[in-house]
Structure formats: structure tokens, C-alpha cells
Amino acid sequence: MEALEARIQYAFKNPRLLAEALTHPSLAYETQGPHFDNQRLEFLGDAVLQLILTRKIFLLFPRLNEGSLTKLRSQLVSRTALQRYAERLGLGAFLMMGKGEDASGGRERASTLADAVEALVGAVYLDSGLDQATEVVLRLCHEEIASLDLDLDHLNPKGRLQEILQATGAPSPTYEMLDARGPDHRKEFVARVFWQGEPLGIGQGTSKKLAETAAAREALAHPTVRHLAASQPSVPARLRPVPTRPHGEKPSESLSHS
């Protein structure tokens, strides 16, 4: 496994942990014998990955609220993101799996690759602790961290609209359901958002929540809202990350010292 260790820039002290992280459950099923797999490490690695990346964006964006931080974190830990990390490492080629799983495209399956990344993180954590796991994760996720989508209008239009309007000292916007049409299994909802008696936007969606979100997104383009937003500190300025090293924290910011 030296080639994979070179790619993650980490050498395991206990190679069995790496082997376990790369073993798909289909191998034990196919051999009908006792065999470890990566499911337990995946469970552990998921929590470790969440902690490392949560701390990273918490430090990078000190002025963001909980909801916005959650949205940013989801960009880093989604199945799509995990699959991208795995493909960057060529992780599929290193997986040990049953012949049937292999033949059915298991090495390229998004869920399999995502699970393997989490298991790999869990293995590094068990092998050397949180500081080493942090270094591996931040190197692996560096590109995604650097290109996080900070457009809160896109991430959370209802939250952004409320933020803009509440900054005036006035009450929050209110939403009214205008219509619900179509059969029960395919119903379409239409909502309108008001502020101080003025309609700001209309939206539709397959649920009340989606309809309100669409209405808020339209409201963000309303002249009144745009004028208010322009008079407030710009979103990019408030979201600008604090300086950081690309591949990890300074020793004084080590997770073990937090």
C-alpha cells in the first residue's frame, strides 16, 4: 500500500488498519468466512472528518452563524465531495472487494468511494491521533475548502432575506400560501413573501418550504431589498476567511490544544 500512503503523505504504523479501511464488506460475504471490513472505521471516520472540517470552517469564517457554517460544511462532507476526494487519490484501485461487487462497478460506485474515504480517515485517526488525521484531511480537502461557495443568497435565500430586512430594525418578512394545485402525489405549492405590507416575491415548489424558498430567492432581486442590501456591509467582506496555511494548522492551533 506504499503508493496510497505516498498519495496521502502518511505512512501507517499499523498496516492492518489501512487494510481494514480498504476492505469492502462484499469480500467477507463472498468468501463466507470471518473477515474484517471497513464499516466500523467508516462510522468512526465520519465523525472525525466532521470534527476536523467543522473546526476548520469555524476558524476560517468567524463571523458566520451556525446555519451558514452548516451549509458550508455540507459542501465538504457530501457524498459528491467524498467521491471527489476518493477519485483524486485513485482510491478505487486499492479497494479489496468481492468479485461480484468488482464486476458490477463497485470501484467507481459513489457510496463505496465515500465510505472508503471515511474509513481511511478513521484508520489514520486510530493509528496516530487527531493531529495527524487533521493534516491528512486538510491536504485532501484543500481544493474544496479554497473554493467554498460563500453566496448566502444561493445557500439560504430565506435566511439571507431575513438578515437584510431585520438589519433595518423592522419585523421579519412573512409568507402566505397562495395556492396548492395538482394531485396529492404531485402537488405544486405557490407562496408569496411580504414585508411591511409590501409583496416582495412569489415562488412555487413541490412543498410549502420549497415554495417559500423560491419566493425568498425572487425577493432578493426586488429593488427594495437590493437597495437595503447595498447599504449594508457586503456579503463577501463579512465572509472573507481569516489567513490560514493551506495544508494544516500551526502547532499553536493544534486540535489537541484546543
pTM of the predicted model as reported, rounded to 2 decimal places: 0.63
User: DSSP state, 96?
Assistant: B
Residues of the chain with CATH 1.10.1520.10: 2-148
**φ/ψ (deg, to 5) at 2:** -60, -35
Sheet order of strands, 188-195 included: 174-181, 188-195, 198-205
- pLDDT tier at 246, thresholds 50, 70, 90: very low
pLDDT digits (tens, 9 = 90+) for 40-84: 999 999 999 999 999 999 999 888 888 888 888 988 999 889 999
Confidence of residue 32 (pLDDT cuts 50, 70, 90): low
Per the annotation, the verdict on 46 as an active-site residue is: yes
Pick the catalytic residue from 37, 46, 115, 212.
46
Where are the alpha helices (H) located in the chain, listed in sequence order? 2-8, 15-21, 26-31, 39-60, 66-77, 79-89, 99-103, 110-128, 130-140, 142-146, 152-155, 157-166, 208-219, 223-230, 235-239
CATH 3.40.50.2300 fits 153-239, yes or no: no
- The residue among 42, 78, 73 whose CA lies nearest residue 58 is 73
Catalytic residue among 20, 37, 101, 118: 118
Cite the residue boundaries of each domain of the chain with CATH code 3.30.160.20. Answer: 153-239
163-196 pLDDT per residue, tens: 899 888 889 999 999 999 888 777 899 999 999 9
CATH class of this structure's domain 2-148:
mainly alpha
